[in-house]
Chains A and B, each alone.
Chain A
Amino acid sequence: MEFSFMYKEGGAHPDEQKGFTDSKPIVEASVPKIMVYPIAMHIGAPADPIVEVGDQVKVGQMVAKEGGFVSAHVYSSVSGEVVAIEKRPQAGGGEVDSVIVKNDYAYTRAEPIVKPGHSSEMTNKKIIDTIRKAGIVGMGGATFPAAVKLAPPEEAKIDTIILNGAECEPYSTSDHRVMFEYTDEVIKGIDIVSQLYPDLKNIYIGIEDNKKDVKKALEKATADNKKVTVQTLKAMYPQGSEKNLIKSLTGREVQPGELPADVHVILLNVSSARAVYHACELGEPLLERVISVSGTPIRNPQNLKVRIGTPIESVIDDCEGFSEIPGKVLSGGPMMGRAVGDLSVPISKGMTAVSVLTRQEAQIDEPEDCIMCAECLHVCPVSLQPILISEAFERGDIEKAEKLGAMDCIECGNCSFICPSKIPLLDNIRGAKAAIQAKQEG
């Protein structure tokens, strides 16, 4: 028997809030008249627009080309006319150049990026090229270009693939539904990726123990693959963080400055795996994703299959709108998501969910004095002492904040969440990180 009520170190238990949508089938979102394609939906160099105002585009036609090695192509997910290329607000805050396409509702398709149905015969180079061509990024929110991540130097000797299906953010159920409804596509996506690594020994599918239906579906779909282990993990935040998941499943720790590949591990999000299948087997670039639209102020929370570029207000309309004035609309979940100030912001490649908080839920009280309860130490997944870093930063002692490991913070938000004194610990740690970086850059 597990004593789950006991003190569990290295994680927190925010209300899961998944009941809004976790048993609702994915439905197709409606497609609005105006679609917005930001040229930077990924980490790395922004893409360069390759269309001009007035051009006609097809579904699956590239509208912006990768701007460097670490970058990703952007495609139009509808057919129609390019009506503007201008700055538009983005989920990450600020404005970014975006290609605006007026939907003609004809859905004329462009040529597939590769000949469909030949993924099993592809060379490694061809697979990576196809993934690059498709513009796939880490769809769990990290948005790192997949073609770069999946092609580490040969000496990395990848022996483990981890499919990240933990989905530890409250409200989010998109990965859950994708694994349940598109099980075969996800598994085929992993099969394609696993062709890349000759030293591969294990494929772990990490899911939290609150997704029992998924475990069964995955085990059934992978029954004849000896390398695959469907591993249930304790539902705990941030179980799905890269470092945490690698440690939980393989016992390995990624050293500071290292990548998962340095410990012979490749991590892949569920939706990214499905996108790999769509690219290599069907010849489709990344055009759509599944998101959950959830929260108390949403009248009819749902899981939606959305064309990338659809403004948030359109998916909220699909869910019958707000039943009360919301406090915060978040791209992602309430722990690591970004607050959106403008509902015309489009659904981007890495947006897992639109979570909406009531004004009361979004209320954050004034900070009080620290009572040294040590909760922030207990919940820190990388064993920092958040309060000490926060205090060092407030005193202006940046050197001390650095020695205390500020740069190792993964910004999961557990410390700020758990603090009974409502001290903005993560804000202070972010401040310390920025100051350390500024100092290093001279």
Chain B
Amino acid sequence: MDNSIDMKKAQNKLQVGPSPHIRTRRTTKSIMIEMLIALVPPMIAAVYFFGWGVFIQLVVASGVAVLSEYVFQKMTHRKVTISDCSALVTGTLLGLSFPVTVPLWVVTVTSIFAIVVVKQWNAGLGNGGIGRNYLNPAVTARVCAKIFFTPFFTDWILPTGFLGGPYGGVDAVSSSTPLEFIGHGAQSVSNQVPALRELFLGANLGGNIGETSKLAILVGMLYLIFRRIISPKIPLLFIGSTVLVMCFWGSFDLEFMLTHALTGTLFFGATYMATDYSSGALTPGGKTVFAIGGGVLTALLRIVFDYPGGLGIAIIIMNICAPFIDQKLMPRIYGHKKRPEVKFDRQSPNQL
């Protein structure tokens, strides 16, 4: 054949190596980019309800996150890994988890804290870095921000429209979050709570900019599930168990139950925070327990404590428990009668 490739020439260029010889196209970076894509619907909702000002908040949060990872890794002479986009995801999640009234310096400090203290330093629990942090950076930093900086953003403003918002020059209307009316041990829905439809769409709802529209979050959640980035069982079991506990607490009051499902950070946290690889459980059984535990704790914290923001604390508690859960729920190996009995640890081989 005229245009055939010479067999000897082909043979000389052959590669050899152990099986498997192919790899999935998915990479760490592509997973992070898919996370960002899944965050686009809540971002659109945030802009729609709170105005263009949210962009500044998001840019500051994600920019500071990426920059602080870069600076930290340079200063500690580690490999710079900002190109994997994981810091960008953490920063974006943080940006979405503040109300639009938050001062930008609070966002900045929280972002640095998330990356440097929680992710890279692993809150002092061991070696940090991607895949190694025991605590969820965005959640932990956000909970700390709430504890230390609450006076700076107590008032949750209601959305004022597409081009309005605090940076649009229109007077902001301050309000409480709906959760404050059904938390604090309440067992039924107060008439100050917006209608379920509004809670679902996020219309006329105060709150952190990313979490008000459950519809937008649902779109993001479905994207992540269909793209197989997250296991569907985590968000479903998480939300499901909160709802179930509320169902019993509210004596099977459907409206009370649904209101709980649709208020606060539950949807946002169950979709984007509880599904974090690094701080979640590793084993299939562990993931189930993690999700149910997180959901139940969220409900209990809302009921028992005078504290509506229970989800963040619930996730942190489950983050701390995750390695112990995994230890107990290592999968039974094919053909074996018992689970492997060996200490579960997630210490990196090259950092010891």
Given A7-B228, A335-B22, A343-B10, the answer on whether A404 and B334 have CB atoms closer than 8 Å is no
The CA-CA distance from A247 to B332 in the complex, in Å, is 15
Complex CA distance for A335 and B349, rounded to whole angstroms: 26
Q: Does the CB pair A256–B11 fall under 8 Å?
A: no
**B313 interface hit (Cβ, 8 Å):** no
Interface size class of A (residues with CB under 8 A): 35 or more
> Is the CB of A435 closer than 8 A to any CB of chain B?
no
Cβ A405 vs Cβ B22 within 8 A: no
Q: Which residues of A contact B284 (CB under 8 A)?
A: 9, 374, 377-378
Contact with B along A334-376 (1 / 0, CB 8 A): 1111111111000000000000010101101100111111100
Chain B residues with CB under 8 A of A305: none
Complex Cα distance, B26 from A419, in Å, reads: 8
Chain B residues whose C-beta falls within 8 Å of the C-beta of A422 in the assembled complex: 23, 27
Q: A322-B5, A325-B9, A405-B336 are in contact. Are A395 and B21 (CB under 8 A)?
A: no
Confirm or deny: B130 has a beta carbon within 8 angstroms of a beta carbon on chain A.
yes
Contact A371 B278 (CB under 8 A): yes
Interface members, chain A 380-403 (any B CB < 8 Å): 381-385, 387-388, 391, 394-395, 400, 403
B14 within 8 A of A: yes
Of all chain B residues, which has the CB nearest A393? B349
Within the complex, the shortest CB–CB distance from B172 to chain A, in Å, comes to: 40
**Whole-angstrom distance between the alpha carbons of A422 and B331 in the complex?**
23
Q: Which of A76-84, A282-290, A313-321 contacts B (4 or more CB under 8 A)?
A: A313-321
Stretch at the interface among B69-77, B199-207, B339-347: B339-347
* Known interface pairs A313-B7, A383-B334, A385-B331; A325-B20 also in contact (CB < 8 Å): no
Asked if B20 contacts A328 (CB within 8 A), the reply is no
**In the complex, A75→B100 CA distance in Å?**
80
Query: Is residue A417 within 8 Å, beta carbon to beta carbon, of the partner chain?
Result: yes
Instruction: Give the residues in chain A near B16, CB-CB below 8 Å.
Output: 93, 328, 339-341
Question: Is the CB–CB distance between B4 and A403 below 8 Å?
Answer: no
Beyond A323-B5, A326-B10, A341-B16, whether A418 also contacts B331 by CB under 8 A is: no
Contact residue among B225, B280, B333 (Cβ-Cβ distance under 8 Å from A408) = B333
Q: How far is the CB of B1 from chain A (nearest CB, A)?
A: 6
Q: Is the CB of B335 within 8 A of A254?
A: yes
Q: When the two chains form their complex, are residues A417 and B24 in contact, meaning their CB atoms are under 8 A apart?
A: yes
Tell me if B251 is interfacial: C-beta within 8 Å of chain A.
Answer: no
Contact B20 A339, beta carbon cutoff 8 Å: no
Report B-chain residues with C-beta under 8 Å of the C-beta of A336.
19-20
Is B18 interfacial (CB 8 A cutoff)? yes
Contacts of B331 in A (CB 8 A): 377, 383-385
A329-B18 contact, Cβ under 8 Å, with A369-B131, A372-B282: no
Whether B194 sits at the interface, judged by CB under 8 Å, is: no
With beta carbons under 8 angstroms apart, the residue of B11, B17, B131, B283 that contacts A385 is B283
- In this assembly, does A330 line the interface, its C-beta being within 8 Å of a C-beta of chain B? yes
The residue in chain B whose Cβ has the minimal distance to the Cβ of A364 is B23
Are the CB atoms of B24 and A170 closer together than 8 Å?
A: no
Interface contact A170-B130, CB-CB below 8 Å: no
Complex: how many Å from CA A416 to CA B226?
Answer: 22
Known: A7-B228, A422-B27. A343 touches B11 (CB 8 A): yes
Establish whether residues B27 and A420, one from each chain, have CB atoms under 8 Å apart when the complex forms. yes
- Whether A316 contacts B7 by the Cβ 8 Å rule is yes
Expressed in whole angstroms, the minimum distance between the Cβ of A401 and any Cβ of chain B is 9
Q: Give the chain A neighbours of B27 by CB distance below 8 A.
A: 365, 368, 420-422
The smallest C-beta distance from A100 to any residue of chain B, in angstroms, reads 19
Most buried by A among B26, B84, B341: B26
**Across the interface, which residues of A come within 8 angstroms of B11, CB to CB?**
341-343
Query: Number of residues in B with C-beta < 8 Å to the partner?
Result: 62
Q: Which of B10, B282, B347, B349 contacts A374 (CB 8 A)?
A: B282
Give A388 to B131 CA distance when docked, in angstroms: 13
Residues of A within 8 A of B84 (CB): 368
- When distances are taken between beta carbons in the complex, the residues of chain B under 8 Å from A413 are 19-20
Question: Judging by beta carbons under 8 Å apart, are B19 and A335 in contact?
Answer: yes
> Would you call A14 an interface residue if the criterion is a C-beta within 8 Å of the partner chain's C-beta atoms?
yes
Q: Please, which residue of chain A has its CB at the minimum distance from the CB of B279?
A: A372
Q: By the criterion CB–CB under 8 Å, are A328 and B232 in contact?
A: no
The answer to whether A408 and B336 touch (CB under 8 A), given A327-B15, A330-B21, is yes
How many Å from the CB of A416 to the closest CB on chain B?
5
Cα separation A412 to B344 with both chains bound (whole Å): 24
- Contact between B334 and A382, CB atoms less than 8 A apart: yes
* Distance to closest chain B CB from A431 (angstroms): 10
What is the distance, in angstroms, from A146's C-beta to the closest C-beta of chain B?
Answer: 24
Which A residues between 87 and 112 are near B, CB-CB below 8 angstroms? Answer: 93
Chain B 168-204 per-residue mask, 1 if CB under 8 angstroms from chain A, else 0: 0000000000000000000000000000000000000
For A258, what are the chain B residues with a Cβ–Cβ distance below 8 Å? 335
Q: Does A328 lie within 8 Å of B10, measured CB to CB?
A: no
B23–A339 touching, CB < 8 Å: no
The answer to whether the Cβ of B81 comes within 8 Å of any Cβ in the partner chain is: yes
B278 touches A385 (CB 8 A): no
Provide the residues of chain A in CB contact with B347, threshold 8 Å.
391, 395
Q: Is the CB of A403 within 8 A of B342?
A: yes
Any A CB within 8 A of the CB of B102: no
**Which residue in B28, B226, B333 is a CB contact (below 8 Å) of A384?**
B333
Rounded to whole Å, the gap between the CB of B4 and the closest CB of chain A is 4
B154 within 8 A of A: no
Question: How many Å lie between the Cα of A99 and that of B343 in the bound state?
Answer: 53
User: Which of B7, B17, B343, B348 contacts A339, CB < 8 Å?
Assistant: B17
Are A394's CB and B14's CB within 8 A?
no
**B residues within 8 A CB of A388?**
344
Q: Are A5 and B226 in contact (CB under 8 A)?
A: yes
B residues apposed to A, CB below 8 Å: 1, 4-5, 7, 9-11, 13-24, 26-28, 30-31, 81, 84, 86, 129-132, 225-226, 228, 231-233, 277-278, 280, 282-284, 287, 330-336, 340-344, 346-350, 352
8 new A-B contacts, CB < 8 A, other than A328-B17, A364-B17, A405-B333, are: A330-B21, A372-B280, A384-B331, A391-B348, A400-B342, A405-B340, A413-B20, A422-B27
Q: Which 6 A-B pairs have the closest CB atoms?
A: A413-B20, A394-B349, A382-B334, A403-B342, A383-B331, A339-B16
Identify 28 residue pairs between A and B in the complex whose beta-carbon atoms are under 8 Å apart, listed by A's number.
A7-B231, A243-B334, A313-B7, A321-B5, A322-B5, A325-B13, A326-B14, A329-B14, A330-B21, A335-B22, A339-B21, A357-B22, A364-B17, A368-B81, A369-B81, A370-B348, A371-B28, A371-B130, A372-B280, A372-B346, A373-B31, A377-B284, A388-B344, A395-B349, A403-B342, A405-B340, A408-B336, A421-B131
